[in-house]
Structure 1
């Protein structure tokens, strides 16, 4: 699928023109989300026969790179909706229809968000600090605090999980809640260095109810081979890598433009694009970025094709996200140096990209976790 068809140039230019304002006001990009919904982008993973674009993960990776080059924070916010719809598509492609309602509701205009992260929970998907209390109707009530809930002002469905300790063995319970149900609230606490327009506010769950037909998994605590857990990790890491790669592509473009625009007094007014040191720096940044793209595209294509890498998937996915985020930061650093002192002033696009790219440090898998995962794959587990 052509990325320019899914995200026309005119749409992206309008989104880019608003990005600085949302960042300055620390506001949510309502106009961007409305515009993306109007062209069917929020239904990218939804099959064509039910009104979606019918895109695969390989397609959406290209789309998200393109969107992130226009407005990284908007792309990162939309990522969380695309994670859930992407997981639903991954499961469906493998014969699991437990998230079929996600695709159906996304096709009807519902907006999904990701209510999983918890402060202090470094087990991430393998344990939870949130209480999940079983109800007579087969549903659950969730009580706990979730952080980094992107799309906070606009989600209509929140996928979340908690721990049920009512039985002999604790279980991790995954379910979906509705915005129009009581028992949850947001804190107006999103005032960050970068990625401000995501409005990833803290969400406090206060006994909010997920009915039985929206409880999608009950799993043992700890690492799990369940397809849902794999799907969440796989789509989350891959689409994060896409966003930060798109951000880096834009930073490199701005650096090239700056190199042609800036003139050197010392060399008689020649553009910095003719300076050997500047040329070397930009070439180095471009080569680093070029190395990420095949890895990103291969991972996405293999996930679409259902390739079985076994336990090697966790090495591939952790490594992809780490490399993409680290490379993006390095590319933006280079772009700032090439852009000169003017790039350091507030309000410039490179200044904003520098703040936005730092958020990549905090998403799972963090550098420590990624290196531990790859080391385990290479060397085996640590001895007790």
Structure 2
């Protein structure tokens, strides 16, 4: 157990032991979440003044990598809560107290989730298909459909946003937090996916759900903008996503090594595959790829913690990290499957589950197309 870890080896092993069952049953990780909450895991980023341990993003990224080696879906879903606390922490550290209530409520046990993703919205945070209608006193009612709402069975606070067109010619994007006890929304029981099944990232239908005025945190122009709130979301989301997929790669490499030492070869007089030059090459390839990822996650997370100013380079670096991490994990898992052989096709194979889970990395923002556009604009300038 690392010095700052809030998860004992025994707790981690318990989480590992349940992962296959959650996947097979397509069920939510209820026991994992309860044990992690009890250990203080959901408060990691909460500063001491609010009742948390006040770990930095670099430490939390390491913890998420470790958790993902045991249960990728659990780590991915918990990420959503940690991202919101990370956003609030980053703003707080920079003198913006607009999300301090997130830190206070997280310390009290509230569970935060993301309700931002929308089918067909490739503008991500820069536009929305959800309608936000202003109400007297500053509240808003939201109408739309959010997909991939991880933590659906357990969240108590849902971050959502929508577009307010009430002022002609001046549309704004309204961000706020919906309370579980609110009315005007439905959670569909529609999560039956290839991988990351325990996240239970169900669809949330907003049918006039009202967010109170004191939980509306931003009204921003449609389109890209430099508000620290947007940067904080991108930074925490991309780095913590990368950390989870680093964990998937790490576990796949461990399983490949175990398989190489376990499998024997008739053509090599019963020696294990660990002595086969081709297998050794595949394991080495995976290890080289995996080893290069850790310092990238660590460096960007530390830069967030220290308040480093990368200016316009921040977004290319963040999306580049996310793409490298998810694609690297797919490569490592693929190599591990080749080393382990056909047994990985079994429905009970952990490597087979990792193969299914790792595919989700393609779909998290920023996807490959969006990331390459961001990086191309940084190096070549925007298209005229």
Tell me what 1:70 maps to: 70
1:365 match = 366
C-alpha contact 1:144 1:204 (8 A) present in aligned 2: yes
Task: Give, in angstroms, the shift of residue 343 of structure 1.
Answer: 1.2
Determine the C-alpha separation between the residues in 1 that align with 2:135 and 2:7. 44
Secondary structure, aligned partner of 2:125:
helix
Using the alignment, how far apart are the partners of 2:66 and 2:52 within structure 1?
A: 19
SS in 1 for 2:311: coil
Matches within 5 A, 1:279-294: 279-294=280-295
CA distance in 1, matches of 2:356, 2:5: 30
Which residue does 2:166 correspond to in 1?
A: 166
Cα contact 1:3–1:62 (8 A) shared by 2: no
Deviation per residue, 1:235-278 (Å, 9 max, x gap): 11110000000011000001001101111111011111111111
- Residue deviations 1:135-188, cap 9 Å, x none? 102110111100000000000000010011101310100000100111111111
SS in structure 1 at match of 2:110: coil
TM-superposition CA deviations, 1:49-92 (whole Å, max 9, x none):
33212111001100000000000000001000001001101111
1:309-337, CA deviations, whole angstroms, 9 ceiling, x for partnerless residues? 01100100000000000000000000001
Q: Contact 2:322 / 2:366 at 8 angstroms: preserved in 1? A: yes
Q: Given the alignment of the two structures, is residue 176 of structure 1 paired with residue 159 of structure 2, yes or no?
A: no
Aligned to 1:271: 272
Separation in structure 1 between the aligned mates of residue 66 and residue 280 of structure 2, nearest angstrom: 25
Which residue pairs with 2:315 in the alignment? Answer: 314
- Please state how far the C-alpha of 1:2 moved relative to its aligned partner: 3.5
> SS of the counterpart of 2:138?
coil
* Alignment partner, residue 323 of structure 1: 324
CA contact (8 A) 1:87 1:232 kept: yes
Please tell me whether residue 108 in structure 1 is matched to residue 122 in structure 2.
no
- Which aligned runs of 4 or more in structure 1 are off by greater than 6 angstroms? none
Take 2:369 and 2:182, find their aligned partners in 1: how far apart are those partners? 38
What is residue 134 of structure 1 aligned with on the other side?
Answer: 134
Aligned residue in 1 for 2:333: 332
- Residue 3 of structure 1 contacts residue 59 of structure 1 at CA under 8 Å; is this kept in 2? no
C-alpha distance in 1 between matches for 2:382 and 2:370:
13
Q: Secondary structure, in 3 states, of the residue corresponding to 2:278? A: helix
Structure 1 stretches lacking a partner, 5+ long: none
- Normalized against structure 1, the TM-score is what? 0.98
CA contact (8 A) 1:148 1:200 kept: yes
Deviation for aligned residue 1:32:
0.3
After superposition, residues 1-384 of structure 1 pair within 5 angstroms as 2=2, 5-168=5-168, 169-383=170-384
Which structure 2 residue ranges, 5 or more long, are not aligned? none
After superposition, the Cα gap between the structure-2 partners of 1:99 and 1:321, relative to the gap in structure 1 and judged at 3 Å, is same
CA RMSD of aligned residues (A): 1.0
How much does 1:293 deviate?
1.2
TM-score, with structure 2 as normaliser: 0.98
Secondary structure, counterpart of 1:363 in structure 2: coil
Q: Secondary structure at the match of 1:315?
A: helix
Question: 1:3/1:66 Cα in 2 relative to 1: closer, same or farther (>3 Å)?
Answer: farther
CA deviation after TM superposition for structure 1 residue 3, in Å: 5.8
Contact in 1 for aligned 2:113/2:149 (Cα 8 Å): yes
Aligned partners of 1:223 and 1:8: how far apart in 2? Answer: 42
Q: Distance in 1 between matches of 2:91 and 2:5?
A: 26
